[in-house]
């Protein structure tokens, strides 16, 4: 028998890159590890709602089994890196660039930087940015500006004593001038100031530039990485109006950016 609780052990929403695809992420609840029937229940519901496929948040090895048992396959791998927040390098001033807190009214401009910086698969939409900003009890949205224009941003969040670099993006037009490093180090200092004892970040395995940036800033590669899994529902019936179905969503613990 499927329970309503099972259906909500995974938070679901249309995926930003393609509304026929559902994005799912485990919610941190006290019901123990996800089971195969938890995943099956949600997949069933998404199939009924007309989704064509399902993509997961980045999952730790321990969280992948129930998805794989249901037929999900790995589609992307990510490195996981940890910073001890002991030593944080000073970052010098960058001519013509200011760092300043980001405001809700600037989300559209921030998302324009995200779109310019990331390929479609990894981009955030407004719902994804809100998720990143709501994912932790304390959050720091910092922007880099060249005059009035936002040219980079970072989202860092703290949950208990653990910090997360949730998102980092710099407009390609100003990359290679230290903006990414300045935003990253600013975020690490904020995390330490607000009680985090360490900080995690993940990055796509093929993203050599960001991997170099994180390691130069003192992050250490962790033995276990993360993976994004995908399930094709192509035998699902085509929905009549093709508009994105609206699955129920559940507020969730740290899970923004590509976490």
Ligand X SMILES: CC(C)(COP(=O)(O)OP(=O)(O)OC[C@H]1O[C@@H](n2cnc3c(N)ncnc32)[C@H](O)[C@@H]1OP(=O)(O)O)[C@@H](O)C(=O)NCCC(=O)NCCS
Q: Which chain residues interact with ligand X by CB under 6 A?
A: 117-118, 168-170, 175-181, 203, 207, 209-210, 212-213
Identity of the residue, 175 or 230, whose beta carbon is nearer to ligand X in the bound complex = 175
User: Facing residues of 209 across strands?
Assistant: none
Identity of the residue, 38 or 76, whose beta carbon is nearer to ligand X in the bound complex = 76
Apex CA 230: angle with CA 226 and CA 235, to 5°?
170
Identity of the residue, 53 or 210, whose beta carbon is nearer to ligand X in the bound complex = 210
Task: Give the residue closest to ligand X by C-beta.
Answer: 180
Is 5 exposed, middle or buried, given 0-12, 13-18 or 19+ CB atoms closer than 10 A? exposed
Is 94 exposed, middle or buried, given 0-12, 13-18 or 19+ CB atoms closer than 10 A? middle
Distances (CA, A) of 143 to 65, 114, 166: 38, 12, 14
Identity of the residue, 43 or 183, whose beta carbon is nearer to ligand X in the bound complex = 183
The DSSP bridge pattern shows strands 198-204 and 162-170 to be: parallel
CB of 144 to ligand X, least distance (A): 8
CB of 213 to ligand X, least distance (A): 5
């Amino acid at each position: 028998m499927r329970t309503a609780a099972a259906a909500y052990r995974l938070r679901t929403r249309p995926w930003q890159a393609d509304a026929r695809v559902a994005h799912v992420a485990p919610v941190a609840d006290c019901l123990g590890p996800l089971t195969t029937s938890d995943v099956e229940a949600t997949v069933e519901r998404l199939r009924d709602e007309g989704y064509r496929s399902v993509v997961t948040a980045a999952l730790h090895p321990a969280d992948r089994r129930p998805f794989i048992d249901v037929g999900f396959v790995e589609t992307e791998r990510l490195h996981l890196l940890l910073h001890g927040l002991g030593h944080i390098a000073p970052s010098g001033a960058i001519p013509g660039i200011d760092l300043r807190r980001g405001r809700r009214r600037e989300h559209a401009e921030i998302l324009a930087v995200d779109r310019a910086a990331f390929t479609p698969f990894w981009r955030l939409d407004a719902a994804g940015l809100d998720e990143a900003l709501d994912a932790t009890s304390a959050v720091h949205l910092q922007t880099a500006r060249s005059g009035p224009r936002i040219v980079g941003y970072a989202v860092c969040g703290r949950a208990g004593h653990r910090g997360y670099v949730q998102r980092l993006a710099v407009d390609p037009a100003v990359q290679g001038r230290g903006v990414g490093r300045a935003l990253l180090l600013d975020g690490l200092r904020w995390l330490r100031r607000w009680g985090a004892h360490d900080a995690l970040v993940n990055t796509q395995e093929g993203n050599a530039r960001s991997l170099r940036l994180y390691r130069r800033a003192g992050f250490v590669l962790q033995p276990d990485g993360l993976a994004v899994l995908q399930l094709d529902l192509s035998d699902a019936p085509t929905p009549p109006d093709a508009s994105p179905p609206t699955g129920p969503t559940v507020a969730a613990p740290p899970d923004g950016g590509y976490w």
